[in-house]
Structure formats: C-alpha cells, structure tokens
Amino acid sequence: MPKVKPEMRAILVIIFLLFIVFLLLPLAVLLVRSFETSHGFGLVNYQSMFSNKDLFEAIQNSIRVSTMTAIITTILSFTLAYTINCTNLNRSIKAVIKTGILVPMLLPTITYGFAIMYSFGQQGLLTKLFGRPLFEIYGFNGLLIGYMIYTLPASYLLMNNSFQYIDKKMTIVSKLMGDRAIKSFINTSVRPLVGTIGGAFVLSFIMSFTDFGIPASLGGTYNVVATQLYQVMLGALPNFNHGAVIAVLMLVPAMIGVILLNYLEKFNFHYDKMSQIEQIPHKYRDIGMGIISSIVVLCMLSVFVVMFMAPFVNSYPYNLTFTFHHFIDVFQSSDLTRVFKNSIWIAVLTAFFGTFIAYGAAMLNVRSAMKKQTKLLIDILSMITNTVPGMVLGLSYLLFFNESSLKGTFTIIVLCNIVHLFTTPYLMAKNALAKMNPVWETTGELMGDSWIKTVYRVILPNSASTVMEMLSYYFINSMVTISGIIFLVTAETSLVASKIKDLQHFQKYNEIFVLSLLIFISNLFIKLLSDFFQKNRSKHRDKRWLNKKISQREEVL
Amino acid sequence: MLKLQNISKHFTGKVVLEDINLDIQAGEIVSLLGPSGSGKTTLLNIILGLTQMDHGKIFFDGTDISKLSMKKRGFNIVFQDYALFPNLNAYENIVYGLRNKKGSITKQELQEYIDFLELNPHLTKRIGELSGGQKQRVALARTLVMKPKILLLDEPLSALDGVIKESIKDRIKSIAREFQLTTIIVTHDPEEALTLSDKILIINQGTISQFGTPQEIISQPNNDFVEEFILNQLHIKRNNIYKLFGEKYA
C-alpha cells in the first residue's frame, strides 16, 4: 500500500469539497427549509401538509402502486434470473432474454409512459391487436405497467448477480440426498436468496416511489408523491417550504429502504468456494421456464414496438404510409436539435468528470494508506448519494443555489448527475482496483515513477475496461434521468428528457418518439462500444491463457 | 557493508521485531529464514525503506540511511508474485524503469542482462502468456537493469514448480556472483535457505535465533528452536529421500 502522497491529499480534498457543497449542505438547507415558516421555525409546515388531503392521498397511492409493483417485479425477476442461471435452456435464447430485459434501461422513464399510451390507449397498437381496450391506462394500471418495466431490469440484475454466487453443486447434493423437487428448489434456490429477494422488493419499491417520469406522463388524476412535489414547486403557486416537506417525506422511505437493503444482505448465503457445474438435465423445466421468461420479455418489449413505428409513418394510427418527415422536421427544428446536443454534452461531461471523481475516490479507498476513518467516510458519502432520490437532490440544489451564479447552468446539472449517480461507478472501480496487485505502486516507485505516473502508466491501462464501463454507466444514466434534473433545467439548458415533458403539453407525440429514439440510439451505441471493448479484452485473455499453457509445457520439457 | 543496529518494530502494541543487529558483507547471499509471522518480511521491508522502523539505525557503506526514502536508498526488490504490469509485454516491463533513468545503462548492457536470463524468445510475449519461471526471470531482469545496490527477493521460489525451482536457485546464485550483488532473500523453507545462501539469519518471534553459514547452523544449532523446527524438518526430508532411493545413495 503506497504511503499517502500530496497528490492523493489533493484528490481527497476535491472529493470532500464536492460532497460537502453538492450533497451535505443542500440537504441540510432542504431540512431547514422544511421547518421554516414566516415566523421562525416549527412543525407548522408538516402539520399543514399532513392535514392536506391531496398529499395524504398521494402518499397512499404511491405506497399502494409501489408495493404492487414490487411484488410483481420481484416474482418476475426471480423467474428470469432462475431461467438464466439454473436451466439448460439453449444459449442463444438465454442471450436474447438477457439482452432484451435490459432494453428499457436505455430509455427515459417518461418515454415508457407514451409508449404505454400508444400501445394500450384508445387507438393503441395492442388495443387494435386485441380489438378492444384492455384496461384504463391513466392511473393505477398505467403506473403499475410503467413501474414494472422500469424496475424489472434493475431487479433482474440484482437477482442475477446473487444467483452467480450460489453454489450450484448444492442442487445435485440435494437431489442425491433424495429431496423432492419443491423442497430441493426451496432449499437450494429460494433459501440462499432470501436476502436478495427482499432486496429486490425494497429496490423496486424505492424506485417506483421516487420516479417522476412515469406519473408525469400516465398519472392522470391519480396523484402520487412525485407529481405532488412537482406541482407544489412548479405549479401556479410555488411553495418552497411545502416542497421541502414533501422532499423530506420522499427521502425518509428511501433512507429506510437503503438501510433495509444493507441489512437484508446479511441473509444471503456466502459459499466459500464456487464451482461451475452442469445443471441436472430436466427438459420440462427448461422448456417451461424458457417459455415463461420469453413471454415476460416479449410483453415488455411489445410496449416499445410502437416507438419504432409511430415516428416513421405519416400520422399514427390513421395514415400508416412510411415517411421520414418527422425526423427531418426534428432535425430542422433548431430548438430540438439544440436540446439533443445539450443532452449529449451533459452526458459526456458527466461521464468524464464523474468517472474521474468515482475512480479517484475508489483509488484512495482501496489503494492508499489513508486512515481507516477517512476511507469509511468516503463509503458513507457514497451510501448517502445512493439514498437520496434524484428529485430530492435536484430540489435541494434549487433551494441551495437559488441565489448563486450556478443557477441555470450546465455545470449544476452535471454536478447533480455526478453526485446522484455516484454509487454504482464508485463500487465498480473499488471492486476492480481491489483485485489488482497491491504492490504495483511500490514497484513503480522503485522504478523511479511518481505516484501519478504509475497510475497513468500501469493502474489505468489495467483497469481500462472498468473505466469504460463507468463512463458508459454515467453517460447512459445522465441521458435518461429526468427526476434528477427536472428542477434544474431552464429554457437554455433544457434536455431531451425534460423537453419531452414540455412536448406532451402541446401533444407533439411524434417529436417525443423521435427524441426518444435519438436517446435510445446514442445509448445503444455507447453500450455496444463498451461491451465490444470488454469482449475484446476477455478474448485476448483466453488467447493468453492458452499461450501460457503452451509455454509452461515447453519449460518443463 | 549493510549494517543493522538495534532495529525494533511494533504494530499496535504487538512486538514484530526486537533489537535486531546484523552485518552483511558485499556480494553475500543472505537468507532471512523463519516461520510465518516471525517478522522476516517486515525486516525485508524495513531494509527496502517501505516500512518505517520504530527504533534502530541502518548503515550502508558507513553512511546512515535510516531516514532516506525508499527511492533514495537505491535498493530494489522482486516481490513474491512478481508484480509485473500486465498491460505491457515482457520487454516493456524490463525497460519500465529506464524511462525514468535515461542513460544509466547502455543498449549492450541491457542485452547482456536479457541474454543472461535467457529471455530473448519471450520479449514480445504478454505477461499472461508467460509461465511462472519466465515471469520470475522477467521480474529479475526488470529489477537488475535498475542496477540496485542491494537485491531483495521475497519468497522467490514459493510460486514455482519443482524442476524450475532448482534452475531459478542456480540463477540467483550466479547473479550474485556475476554482478557482485549483495542479495537478501526471505524464505520459510529451511532447505531453500541452506542450499541457496552464504549466510542464514534465523528469526523467531521477532528476535534472531541464529546467524551463520549453513555449516554452522547444521553442526552447531544455537537453541531448541533451530534444532526442532529447522534441522528436524531437514532430517525428515533426508530420511524420506533415503527411503526412496535406498541408503547407498547417501
């Protein structure tokens, strides 16, 4: 472990300053504002908000629809992860399921809403296919579908990750010990995953509870907490103190949720040794799970089909002749191209600086001789960023930076994204850096390098694929986030996700879909680039492994 | 030439090294031998300058280097797992440090090191493509071209297979002779220590049990620890090998 160098201290100072000014202080101000009244401080705001029937109803609605979403999503994501990890289903079908499930992550949640409208609405694609409207989409049903699509990918990734740490040999042991199918399933798949199943539930709940994009498009008169917060802050009569109260009410369940997530982690089994092993052949299980999982993914993707159709026809669903004119219109509109450029620019800046900060923080945490308390503090800050919902963070910036020159700039949006999305890239970097040889820096120093030089010549090149993953995570998520930035954008700094919200007001759905497609294509491009990079690396690794075997034999001979 | 004086080290209240005194002559191979947790690696790191000692002094050629940083001492180490940089190939690893020390070594000298370690056929290989013994030689080359004043080796044989172990042992001996290089080796294996080095420092629980040549240790063990843990192991090994080959090979 290299001694603490001045360069490291400089990075540490930058990181702490960033989190103090752009996380802790704004949140403190938010808390203060929620207690502030025209005559001093008190609980008046809370009292008046609790006696407010609308808000009370919105909270009830949020809890109801989020709970329902969490239950269904947890069951579905378990099913999907089980199919991928515990069956002998054909590899290419597995690959399609694995890829398909992640598609929604490339789109802003507000787009889901419009895709659902165009699929299940009066003139919707799926409505036509079935010959009648399946259900009323505005309100509970629409939100439920939207939230399910939104939470399924994240919940699946969580489950899939845990499934990979289950020792599959246990299934065979259980079978050999004479367990019946159900008992074997419960003992070897469900029981070891209890923590994760609980975690997936909590995660889906928090995500639904705090999302703004879906209720913004589909909520109708069915109020939820996120739309309440928006109305109170940006409605006809903005009330910052009441907004602060709602934000605190949104923050509290999210905080409890994250604490619960960490607590549930303890229930997961930790096998000392992992072994990859053939699954016991079972044709019906494979076919059955394959069909169920395919249907789930197909249903989910079917909602998005319309997004790829509507912008290419003259006037969906009345005039279905092919045309490019919606695209041409968007590209000719200086307003919309500017918005798209803004989004790309913000995403690039966020990716670049965010990765720098997260990588630096991880470097100090796992590859330096900093004090234990300092390291713990970085971890705690990372946890806090994970806890704070985007809308709450954005609102706290609005309150804290209202009088400053940062208001209405790109900088504040980029900083909000960097802080809001910090946890995942930080953990990616920590994980990768911890695995690398701990004496590289010492070796570099003995070879005459400064610390920075070794980082540049050795550490960075050896973690290139992780850096690529971090960049792509920051890029994609800042392209799709709406809840984080909705309170921070102005007419000049408008982004695609927030512009879609405005276009909805003028019922310009073609533009909405064209813009959504542009986001989708940019994100897909970045994702494929990142995947290509990683695959290339692992291919090299395989080749090297083979060559190593050859040289070992040569040496012995 | 290298002189350690009253060196002590504690880690949060626990004594790791207590009052170590030692003289090492130029060109000698010295092994630090002891069970795990005996403090031998800590002593190596203190000599290298990586770990700070609590008390004591280190002299090199008569000058006090106790306060000098790791970089300024000019010693160098090959770590147990070699710590080669996988983003660079074998040759790039070997010349890694030369970028920071331009003109310190001629092209011809560099080639001599490469020839000596028989690395010519492997220069363009990536680190992942090298076998354990080849990696060890690349790491040795990378360290030697820096022309260290003292060469430190941390468990240099522990990651190697049987046959290659013996050839690397010979290699280390010939490096010390060829380049007149003082070499300090950490090991936990008595056989390795006694067959590889000119002198052995046996450490137990942070103190010196015995310091002497292999002959001295075999014929005049200082105490029970040397007898029971060091010599006994060698006796068992010898008996096993006798059993395999028969007494006539003794």
Contact criterion met (CB below 8 Å) for A14 and A376: no
Q: How far is CA A492 from CA A173, A254, A407, A408, A512, in A?
A: 63, 32, 12, 8, 19
- Give the separation between CA A5 and CA A451, rounded to whole angstroms: 8
Among A503, A446, A109, residue whose Cα is nearest residue B151:
A446
Please list every residue in chain A whose beta carbon sits closer than 8 Å to the beta carbon of residue B87: 458, 461-462, 464
- Give the separation between CA A198 and CA A71, rounded to whole angstroms: 10
Give the model's pLDDT for residue B192: 92
How close B77 gets to chain A, by Cα (Å)?
Answer: 8
Q: In this model, does residue A317 exceed pLDDT 90?
A: no
H/E element, A41: strand A40-41
Please list every residue in chain A whose beta carbon sits closer than 8 Å to the beta carbon of residue B76: 446
Domains of chain A: 1-32+324-557 (1.10.3720.10), 61-270+283-323 (1.10.3720.10)
Q: Which of B125, B128, B146 sits opposite A447 (nearest CB)?
A: B146
Please list every residue in chain A whose beta carbon sits closer than 8 Å to the beta carbon of residue B146: 446-448
Give the model's pLDDT for residue A180: 84
pLDDT band at A276 (very low <50, low <70, confident <90, very high): low
- Give the separation between CA B110 and CA A70, rounded to whole angstroms: 65
How close A169 gets to chain B, by Cα (Å)?
Answer: 30
Q: In this model, does residue A108 exceed pLDDT 90?
A: yes
Q: Decide if A57 touches B, using CB distance below 8 A.
A: no
Q: Which of B99, B131, B164 sits opposite A548 (nearest CB)?
A: B131
Among A304, A371, A399, residue whose Cα is nearest residue A101:
A304
**pLDDT tens for residues A239-269?**
888 899 999 999 998 889 888 888 887 887 7
Q: What size, in residues, is chain B?
A: 250
- Give the separation between CA B192 and CA B173, rounded to whole angstroms: 12
How close B100 gets to chain A, by Cα (Å)?
Answer: 6
pLDDT band at B188 (very low <50, low <70, confident <90, very high): very high
| Contacting residues for A33 by C-beta, under 8 A, at least 6 apart | A240, A241, A244, A399
Contact criterion met (CB below 8 Å) for B8 and B17: yes
Please list every residue in chain B whose beta carbon sits closer than 8 Å to the beta carbon of residue A545: 128
- Give the separation between CA B57 and CA A309, rounded to whole angstroms: 79
How close B63 gets to chain A, by Cα (Å)?
Answer: 21
CB atoms within 10 A of CB A122: 10
Give the model's pLDDT for residue A5: 86
Q: Decide if B147 touches A, using CB distance below 8 A.
A: no
Q: Decide if A238 touches B, using CB distance below 8 A.
A: no
B239 or A171, greater pLDDT: B239
- Give the separation between CA A443 and CA A368, rounded to whole angstroms: 14
Q: In this model, does residue B156 exceed pLDDT 70?
A: yes
Span B175-196, average pLDDT: 92
**CA B144 remoteness from chain centre:** 13
Choose, out of B41, B79, B124, the residue to mutate when testing the contact with A (most A CBs < 10 Å). Answer: B79
Q: Which residues pair with B2 in a beta bridge?
A: B24, B60
- Give the separation between CA A240 and CA A253, rounded to whole angstroms: 21
Q: Which of B100, B126, B163 sits opposite A544 (nearest CB)?
A: B126
pLDDT band at A334 (very low <50, low <70, confident <90, very high): confident
**pLDDT tens for residues B116-133?**
899 999 999 999 899 988
Span A507-525, average pLDDT: 92
B31 or B166, greater pLDDT: B31
The first and second tokens of residue B101, run together, are 């020390």
Give the model's pLDDT for residue A555: 60
Question: B residues 30-89 near A, CB within 8 Å?
Answer: 50, 70-71, 76-77, 79, 81, 83, 85-87
What ranges do the domains of chain B cover?
2-75+148-213, 84-147
B238 or A16, greater pLDDT: A16
Please list every residue in chain A whose beta carbon sits closer than 8 Å to the beta carbon of residue B97: 446-449
Give the model's pLDDT for residue A122: 81
How close A430 gets to chain B, by Cα (Å)?
Answer: 19
Put simply, the answer to whether B71 touches A446 (Cβ < 8 Å) is: yes
Q: Which of A448, A453, A548 sits opposite B130 (nearest CB)?
A: A548
Give the model's pLDDT for residue A272: 63
Q: Decide if A445 touches B, using CB distance below 8 A.
A: yes
Q: What CATH class has B2-75+148-213?
A: alpha beta
Q: List the single range of A55-59, A231-235, A290-294, A442-446 with lowest mean pLDDT.
A: A231-235
pLDDT band at A552 (very low <50, low <70, confident <90, very high): low
Q: Decide if B137 touches A, using CB distance below 8 A.
A: no
Put simply, the answer to whether B125 touches A458 (Cβ < 8 Å) is: no
Size of the A and B interface in Cβ pairs below 8 Å: 74
Mean pLDDT of all residues belonging to chain A: 90
Q: Decide if A442 touches B, using CB distance below 8 A.
A: yes
Give the model's pLDDT for residue A64: 96
Angle CA(B141)–CA(B143)–CA(B144) in degrees, nearest 5? 65
pLDDT band at B242 (very low <50, low <70, confident <90, very high): confident
Put simply, the answer to whether B146 touches A545 (Cβ < 8 Å) is: no
Q: In this model, does residue A557 exceed pLDDT 60?
A: no
- Give the separation between CA B149 and CA B132, rounded to whole angstroms: 26
Span A165-173, average pLDDT: 78
Contact criterion met (CB below 8 Å) for A507 and A513: no
Choose, out of A443, A454, A545, A549, the residue to mutate when testing the contact with B (most B CBs < 10 Å). Answer: A443
**pLDDT tens for residues A114-160?**
999 888 888 787 888 888 878 888 899 999 999 999 999 999 999 99
Put simply, the answer to whether A555 touches B85 (Cβ < 8 Å) is: no
Region of A166 please: left (phi>0), alpha (psi -120 to 50) or beta: beta
Among A337, A301, A361, A398, residue whose Cα is nearest residue A99:
A301
**pLDDT tens for residues A362-418?**
999 999 989 999 999 999 999 999 899 999 999 999 999 988 999 999 999 999 999
Q: Decide if B188 touches A, using CB distance below 8 A.
A: no
User: b/e map of A70-83 (b: 16 or more CB within 10 Å)?
Assistant: bebbbebbbbbbbb
Percent of chain B with pLDDT over 90: 67
Choose, out of A447, A449, A467, the residue to mutate when testing the contact with B (most B CBs < 10 Å). Answer: A447
Span B228-244, average pLDDT: 88
Give the model's pLDDT for residue B159: 78
Question: A residues 510-549 near B, CB within 8 Å?
Answer: 540-541, 544-545, 547-548
**pLDDT tens for residues A412-438?**
999 999 999 999 999 999 999 998 999
Percent of chain A with pLDDT over 70: 95
A471 or B160, greater pLDDT: A471
pLDDT band at B148 (very low <50, low <70, confident <90, very high): very high
pLDDT band at B247 (very low <50, low <70, confident <90, very high): low
Put simply, the answer to whether B81 touches A443 (Cβ < 8 Å) is: no
Percent of chain A with pLDDT over 90: 59
Q: Which of A444, A453, A551 sits opposite B134 (nearest CB)?
A: A551
Please list every residue in chain B whose beta carbon sits closer than 8 Å to the beta carbon of residue A464: 87
H/E element, B9: strand B2-11
Span B224-231, average pLDDT: 88
Q: How far is CA A219 from CA A65, A145, A307, A402, B196, in A?
A: 11, 12, 20, 29, 79
pLDDT band at A315 (very low <50, low <70, confident <90, very high): confident
Mean pLDDT of all residues belonging to chain B: 91
pLDDT band at A182 (very low <50, low <70, confident <90, very high): confident
Span B190-219, average pLDDT: 93
Q: Decide if B163 touches A, using CB distance below 8 A.
A: yes
Q: Kindly report the three-state secondary structure assignment for every residue of B96-117.
A: HHHHHCCCCCCHHHHHHHHHHC
**pLDDT tens for residues A29-47?**
999 999 988 888 888 888 8
| Contacting residues for B210 by C-beta, under 8 A, at least 6 apart | B200, B201, B202, B216, B217, B221, B222, B223, B226
Among A86, A120, A144, residue whose Cα is nearest residue A293:
A86
pLDDT band at A211 (very low <50, low <70, confident <90, very high): very high
Tell me A140's DSSP state: H
The first and second tokens of residue A318, run together, are 């009345």
- Give the separation between CA A527 and CA A232, rounded to whole angstroms: 37
Q: Which of A447, A461, A462 sits opposite B97 (nearest CB)?
A: A447
- Give the separation between CA A294 and CA A119, rounded to whole angstroms: 19
Give the model's pLDDT for residue A553: 63
Q: At what angle do helices A109-120 and A140-164 cross, to 10 degrees?
A: 120
**pLDDT tens for residues B21-48?**
999 999 999 999 999 888 999 999 999 9
Q: Which residues pair with B14 in a beta bridge?
A: B11
Report chain B's C-alpha Rg in angstroms.
19
Q: In this model, does residue B201 exceed pLDDT 80?
A: yes
Q: Decide if B128 touches A, using CB distance below 8 A.
A: yes
Give the model's pLDDT for residue A184: 85
Give the model's pLDDT for residue A120: 87
Q: Kindly report the three-state secondary structure assignment for every residue of A274-300.
A: CCCCCCCCCHHHHHHHHHHHHHHHHHH
Q: Which residues pair with B64 in a beta bridge?
A: B59
pLDDT band at A275 (very low <50, low <70, confident <90, very high): low
Peptide bond between residue A2 and the one before it cis (omega within 30 degrees of 0): no
Span A103-119, average pLDDT: 92
Q: In this model, does residue B250 exceed pLDDT 60?
A: no
